[in-house]
């Protein structure tokens, strides 16, 4: 009998298992994949994500494999804003480890904390008793059928979550897929650490960053209504998107593509009911978003902390489990709502706020102010140190 079974051992499930095991809970972490293994998903970690990795003690292992992002070119259709020195207290703005690296480091941290881990374990169904989830039934790599029981079973098994289907977790704030994304990896590209180019008139976005082995990961987002045409010539559609930024395209084309094209079009936007009797959902199983703002991993890390605190409170008896899980869901929804809506607006290529355009123009030739603006907007420093009326008024008036 376990305190918690976590199904899915990647960037939501593994840190949840780690945090709960550090609390002293008895944890079983399972995944159908073998590890280390890659998946064709985005893998950029920014905003509050790097600081959480630092606080959990796993950032050094990640930083040893992939460069920290400290130099950015960010163009939302007005001009390329160059921003440098994006590091605070030894933690960079972002990191882009490949998933086979990130997930394995997180799993190893969970095991080191005391969690039991089984990969290549296929969960076939969830065990129910009187409407409550009481565990899992599954199959090991050698074909043995096993049933395990737990006080709480957590689905960290992605947007197609079997647990969500089993308990009929209600979805809300649903929006159909807006963009499809394609990406690959280039060597020999002269670039900043992170480069982002939005082209609202053509309804395209390019998102690229340095990753392991000195490769440059290049992602392109294109509108879903054009998917049939795009799908007929993915590479052509991808390169035509890159060519919307000629100077950038010339640098990418001067490099060498080292891997095949990857892509995804099944990218719905939704929240799901996050908990019920004996179960909870975390990561993409509970909230899934268009990749435009690259929120998936950093938001998973934040929500993992909320859920670990809630389950810990329920297991210790300091709060009824149902009440604790309800508080987790409220915190998750409150913390994610503003970014969820902003992400939808950007994926629809809605016109940017005129104040944002004016602020970008005000710091364009002020490198130190551009750095402070970016740090504040990404939560690397207290946002009010930059976004306060006095400072904004000074910048907008053209004061030195």
Percent of the chain with pLDDT over 90: 98
256 CB-contact burial (10 Å; exposed 0-12 / middle 13-18 / buried 19+):
exposed
**H-run or E-run covering 270:** strand 269-272
- The whole-number pLDDT of residue 396 equals 87
Cis status of the peptide bond prior to 164, with omega within 30 of 0? no
Q: Indicate the Cα dihedral angle 119, 121, 122, 127, nearest 10°.
A: -120
Phi/psi at 185 (5° precision)? -130, 135
Residue-averaged pLDDT of the chain: 97
Residue count (the chain): 400
CB 14 within 8 A of CB 31: no
Mean pLDDT of 233-238: 97
Per the structure block, which two tokens stand in for 285? 């199983």
Residue 86 lies in a domain: no
Per cent of the chain over pLDDT 70 is 99
Asked if residues 299 and 269 have their Cβ atoms less than 8 Å apart, the reply is no
By residue range, what is the domain housing residue 225?
179-264
Query: Residue 195's pLDDT is what?
Result: 98
- Which pLDDT value is given to residue 397? 86
> In terms of domains, do 118 and 151 share one?
yes
Q: Is 282 left (phi over 0), alpha (psi -120 to 50) or beta?
A: beta
Q: Are residues 147 and 37 in the same domain?
A: yes
In degrees, rounded to 5, the angle at the alpha carbon of residue 380 between the alpha carbons of residues 337 and 56 is 85
CATH number, domain with residue 22: 3.50.50.60
Give the pLDDT mean for 189-214.
97
Residues 163 and 113 both lie in one domain: yes
Angle at 252 between CA 250 and CA 255, to 5 degrees: 110
Half-sphere exposure of 292 (CA within 13 A, CB side): 28
Looking at the fold, whether 214 and 229 belong to one and the same domain comes out as yes
- Do 189 and 335 belong to one domain? no
Read off the pLDDT of residues 381-392 as tens digits, 9 standing for 90 and up: 999 999 999 999
Q: Are residues 191 and 339 both part of a single domain?
A: no
State whether 287 and 334 are in the same domain: yes
Q: What is the pLDDT of residues 240-251, one digit of tens each?
A: 999 999 999 999
Please state the rounded mean pLDDT for residues 297-304.
Answer: 98
Residues forming a β-bridge with 205: 198, 221
Q: How confident is the model at residue 141 (pLDDT cuts 50, 70, 90)?
A: confident
- Checking if the pLDDT of 331 tops 90, the result is yes
Judge if 16 and 157 occupy the same domain: yes
Structure tokens belonging to residue 60? 């050094």
286: helix, strand or coil: coil
pLDDT of 283? 98
Tell whether 69 is covered by a domain: no
Statement to judge: residues 245 and 274 lie in one domain: no
Pairing status of strand 216-223 against strand 269-272: unpaired
* Average pLDDT of the residues in 328-347: 98
The CATH code of the domain that includes 219 is: 3.30.9.100
- The residue among 147, 117, 122 whose CA lies nearest residue 27 is 117
Indicate the residue among 202, 235, 264 that finishes a domain: 264
Average pLDDT over residues 143-166: 97
Positive/negative CA dihedral, 90, 93, 98, 104: positive
Please report whether residue 280 resides in a domain.
Answer: yes
**14/115 same-domain check:** yes
**Alpha-carbon span 82 to 92, nearest angstrom:** 16
Same structural domain, 170 and 26: yes
Has residue 257 been placed in a domain? yes
Q: Is 83 part of a structural domain of the chain?
A: no
Four-CA torsion 310, 315, 317, 320, nearest 10 degrees: 50
Mean pLDDT of 214-235: 97
Please, which residues bridge with residue 222 across strands?
Answer: 180
399 pLDDT higher than 90:
no
- Taking alpha carbons only, the member of 328, 324, 331, 398 closest to residue 364 is 398
Q: What is the mean pLDDT of the segment spanning 59-87? A: 97
Structurally, the chain folds into a number of domains equal to 2
Residue 400, pLDDT > 80, answer no
Neighbours of 368 (CB within 10 A): 10
37 with 115, same domain?
A: yes
Q: Are 181 and 264 in contact (CB under 8 A)?
A: yes
Is 328 within the bounds of a domain? yes
Contacts of 215 (CB under 8 A, 6+ apart): 185, 186, 187, 258
């Amino acid at each position: 009998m376990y305190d918690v079974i976590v199904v899915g051992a990647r960037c939501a499930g593994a840190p949840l298992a780690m945090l709960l095991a550090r609390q002293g809970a008895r944890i079983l972490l399972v995944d159908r994949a073998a590890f280390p293994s890659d998946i064709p998903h985005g893998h950029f970690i920014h905003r509050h994500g790097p600081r959480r990795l630092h606080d959990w003690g796993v950032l050094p292992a990640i930083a040893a494999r992939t460069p920290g992002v400290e130099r950015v070119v960010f163009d939302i259709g007005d001009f390329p804003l160059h921003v440098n020195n994006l590091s605070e207290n030894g933690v960079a703005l972002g990191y882009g480890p490949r998933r086979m690296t990130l997930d394995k480091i997180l799993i190893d941290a969970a095991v080191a904390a005391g969690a039991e881990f089984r990969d290549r374990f296929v969960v076939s169904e969830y065990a129910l008793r009187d409407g409550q989830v009481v565990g899992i039934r599954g199959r090991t790599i050698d074909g043995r059928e096993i049933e395990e029981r737990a006080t709480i079973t957590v689905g960290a098994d992605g947007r197609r979550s079997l647990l969500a289907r089993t308990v009929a977790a209600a979805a809300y704030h649903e929006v159909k897929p807006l963009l499809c994304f394609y990406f690959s990896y280039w060597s020999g590209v002269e670039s900043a650490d992170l480069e982002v180019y939005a082209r609202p008139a053509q309804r395209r976005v390019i998102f690229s960053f340095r990753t392991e082995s000195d490769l440059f990961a290049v992602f392109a987002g294109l509108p879903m209504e054009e998917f049939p045409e795009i799908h007929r010539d993915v590479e052509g559609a991808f390169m035509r998107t890159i060519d919307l930024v000629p100077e950038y395209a010339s640098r990418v084309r001067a490099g060498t593509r080292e891997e095949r094209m990857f892509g995804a079009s099944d990218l719905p936007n939704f929240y799901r009911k996050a908990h019920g009797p004996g179960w909870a959902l975390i990561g993409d199983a509970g909230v899934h978003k268009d990749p435009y703002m690259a929120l998936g991993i950093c938001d998973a890390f934040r929500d993992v902390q909320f859920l670990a605190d809630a389950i810990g409170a329920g297991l210790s008896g300091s709060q009824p489990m149902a009440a604790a899980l309800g508080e987790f869901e409220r915190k998750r929804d409150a913390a994610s709502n503003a970014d969820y809506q902003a992400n939808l607006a950007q994926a629809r290529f809605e016109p940017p706020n005129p104040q944002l355009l004016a602020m970008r123009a005000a710091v364009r030739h002020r490198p130190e102010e551009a750095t402070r603006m970016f740090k504040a907007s990404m939560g690397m420093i207290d946002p009010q140190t930059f976004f306060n009326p006095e400072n904004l008024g000074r910048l907008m008036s053209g004061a030195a």
